[in-house]
A and B are shown apart, each in its own frame.
Chain A
Amino acid sequence: MYGPHVALDEMSLKINSGATALLGPNGAGKSTMIKTLLGLIQLTSGDGEVLGYNIRTEGDSIRQRIGYMPEYDCLTPEMNAIHQVKYCGELTGMNTKVAMQRAHEVLEYVGLRDQRYREISSFSTGMMQATKLACAIIHDPELLICDEPTNGLDTKARGFMLDTLFQVVKQGNRSILMCSHLMDDVEKICDRIVMIHKGKLIAQGKIEDLKAIDREIEIWVWGGASRMEEALNDAGLTPRRTGRVMRVVRQDESTYDLVLELAAKAKVQIRRMEDYEPSLEDLFLVIMDRLGYGVKSSSDLLQSQPPTTSVAPAPSRPGGNF
């Protein structure tokens, strides 16, 4: 709790090893959750464990095994990268010599081998992000918490950062909890998500499993799309339509036959009908739609207050995101 404000409420979740994304709009409670996981906030009720350590009483032990990469600048501009990373290792409890040796290793790993003696103030955003990552992984943590790791990066640097994080999971066999507003980034790295909103858990699990919650059929019709939409509505399938492309929720195998029957009755040609493979973006939109927020894209996550309207957003192109 922050004064009268309840930051996290009735949240019960279990995060398995691997790469997990923490999603939610600004003010949803992501930062509070990170601080809770780091053992920095005393819970008013409930309990929890991180890596087997109690978050109420063993904060130091947790933070010794976690690497945290903050979203915003956290580096001393006047220091060299190598000394900054070494100091981070020392703060975790490493010996000076070991920390220096390890700093060389991790800076090489994040692609700053040739820049490690440069002053951080002269770094680009990508290099600063890489330095922050090096600071976070110097002690080879079991769990790496990354807050917007690709924030402010260009395409090339972003790809490199994502590859680097991916290798930490795959090659280093470490776990990552990643906060990001970029669904593409999340999909590339993570296989699980935890979505919170207004301090409450609204979705968690494997991305693939969550995508299967609302499997949709995409139908491309020709000649009488409005009639087809009406017919689908009458049949209770509540299509989402843009032009001649519409999607209906696949209830079971008979949904295909039902759609074909309705098309025949409405005298509409069906040019194409297929299972729609939703992206994480779609999943987010569906979940937010169910909560009554008419967000059009994940960029709306950046808004502190969600829009009050709940109008179904129109797809930008046929077959595109609804």
Chain B
Amino acid sequence: MVDEIPGVDDLFADDDLASSQPISVEPAPITEPVQEPQVEVHEIESQAPVESPPQSLVARQADAEFLGEKGGVVTGRGRMEAAFGTGDGDEIATAQVAQVSSEVAAGTIFHQVYRPWRGKLNSRWVRNWSILRYHIYGLFSKGHKPWPMMTKLVVFGVLILSIGDLLMLTVGAATGVEAIERLAGISRGNLYGHVLSFWFRNACTYPIVTALIIGGMISEDRRNGTSALYFSRPVNRRDYAAMKFLSVAIILSVVVLFTLSAYYLGAILVGGEGWSYVMDTGLLFLGAFLAGALLVFTYTSIGLALSSVSSGKFFPAVAFIGLILGTKMVAFLIWALFDSSAIYLISPYDNLAHVGQWMLGLNHTYEHPASWSLVMLITMNAISLYILSARVSSLEVTRE
């Protein structure tokens, strides 16, 4: 009885499929190959498997490699040749679509090859330049700091507004209306107004631009943890803070100092002025430029100090505007009550304005000496830089 029980082999003994046609994963040709391939072996690699037997096809695919990835090589040339043929047209071709190599069938998605790099790393200044470029180029180029669109638009808008006096001068020259030229021409008042006028420049434009720029400058590094990317690399904290400072200062300088220079040079060119004009007004321009530089420095240091004490970009922005406008407002109210301009020493803007008036030789609108304002400005900057330095030192590489 036991011998009569058929074995597994016996069960399939009469199975024609199992005995004569083994299951194959190779693509079946449309017709049987009738002749040997007449192309060089090394040329076949990128061609369709015209008459190649399946085994050799598999071997070639396994050897093929593109960017470290083996198998599945189907080039444009291969497709063209499969479609139209390269020989006399009598050979029997088999069109090939993207085939899965044996390794892909085994579950490998791609070849993970670690490629060493033996390049030369540059010095500290190249690293610092990359930080600077990252922040500045981000305003008009992709691949750098992703500034919000609102910030980009505001910076661009304020830049246009800041050259309004130059545009006015150009219009005056173009139309020949002398009143416009006199109104917008170079003078102590106009140079002062370009940098330090309150209602337009320092109430509406410069503080807002500064607030938007400094908002996330350091606080976002703290919030996103990106400080680890800096400090786990050969970037020291002094360079980090300096490059952040320089980035903000350069953007503000474009808005304040570049437009001031454009205005001055434009006035010379539009008016066709000579060297004597430059000699007469050069020092005025220099005074306005220095006052503008002081404004840029002060706004940057206060702004970055506020950014460094926060972990969001909203607080520093609001706090900066509040500090500039709020102190001015408080000082104004107290001054109205007690009639003492010394209270304006608490306002960064008024200190800048007072020093600017002194630099340009304008009549002072404050009763206290300009030197007091200068000392207060230096003190404010020193405190801001100290806070910035202390907070940057506390930025962590590991968990905060």
Contacts and interface: CB of A to CB of B under 8 A. Distances in A.
A72 interface: yes
Nearest to B127: A93
A156 to B, nearest CB: 11
B398 A34 contact: yes
B126 A83 contact: no
The residue in B112, B220, B230, B398 that gathers the most chain A C-beta atoms within 10 A of its C-beta is: B398
A238 interface: no
B232 A140 contact: no
B175 interface: no
B397 A91 contact: no
Interface residues on chain B, size class:
35 or more
Interface in A177-204: none
A60 B112 contact: no
B119 interface: yes
Contacts of A102: 117, 119
Interface string A65-84: 01010111111111110010
A221 B399 CA distance: 49
A116 interface: no
B8 interface: no
The residue in A61, A72, A91 that gathers the most chain B C-beta atoms within 10 A of its C-beta is: A91
A92 B234 contact: yes
Interface in B207-244: 220, 224-236
B112 A109 contact: yes
Contacts of A87: 130, 134, 144, 229
A72 B67 CA distance: 32
Contacts of B118: 140
The residue in A74, A75, A147, A171 that gathers the most chain B C-beta atoms within 10 A of its C-beta is: A74
Interface in A157-181: 163-164, 167-168, 171-172
A113 B112 CA distance: 11
B399 A71 contact: yes
A173 to B, nearest CB: 8
Contacts of B398: 31, 34-35, 70-71, 147
Nearest to A98: B119
Interface string A19-36: 000000000000100110
B117 A140 contact: yes
A94 interface: yes
Nearest to B125: A93
A80 to B, nearest CB: 8
A127 interface: no
A242 interface: no
B121 interface: yes
A296 interface: no
Given A40-B397, A68-B232, A139 B117 contact: yes
A120 B361 CA distance: 54
Contacts of B112: 109, 111, 163-164, 167
Interface string A87-102: 1101111111010001
Interface string B105-132: 0000110111111110111101100110
B143 interface: yes
Nearest to A173: B116
B53 interface: no
Nearest to A99: B130
Given A71-B399, A109-B113, A78 B127 contact: no
Chain B binding surface, main DSSP class = loop
B140 to A, nearest CB: 15
A90 B134 CA distance: 10
Contact of A91 (B113, B131, B142): B131
A139 B126 CA distance: 15
B146 interface: yes
A60 B114 contact: no
B124 A38 contact: no
B233 A78 contact: no
The residue in B112, B126, B233 that gathers the most chain A C-beta atoms within 10 A of its C-beta is: B233
Nearest to A171: B114
Contacts of A31: 398-399
Contacts of A83: 142-144
Interface in B80-139: 109-110, 112-119, 121-124, 126-127, 130-131, 134
B272 to A, nearest CB: 44
A64 interface: yes
A171 B123 contact: no
Contacts of A38: 231-232, 397
A79 B127 contact: no
A94 B110 CA distance: 27
A135 interface: yes
B234 A64 contact: yes
A87 B133 CA distance: 10
A109 B399 contact: no
A93 B234 contact: yes
Contacts of A98: 119
A105 B67 CA distance: 10
Given A38-B232, A63-B234, A73-B224, A92 B127 contact: yes
A86 interface: yes
17 contacts: A70-B225, A70-B228, A73-B225, A74-B226, A80-B143, A83-B142, A88-B229, A90-B127, A91-B130, A93-B127, A93-B234, A94-B121, A111-B109, A140-B118, A167-B112, A168-B114, A172-B116
Nearest first, the 8 closest Cβ-Cβ pairs linking A and B are A93-B121, A90-B130, A78-B146, A68-B232, A140-B117, A31-B398, A172-B114, A60-B234
Given A87-B229, A108-B67, A147-B398, 4 more contacts: A63-B233, A76-B146, A88-B233, A91-B127
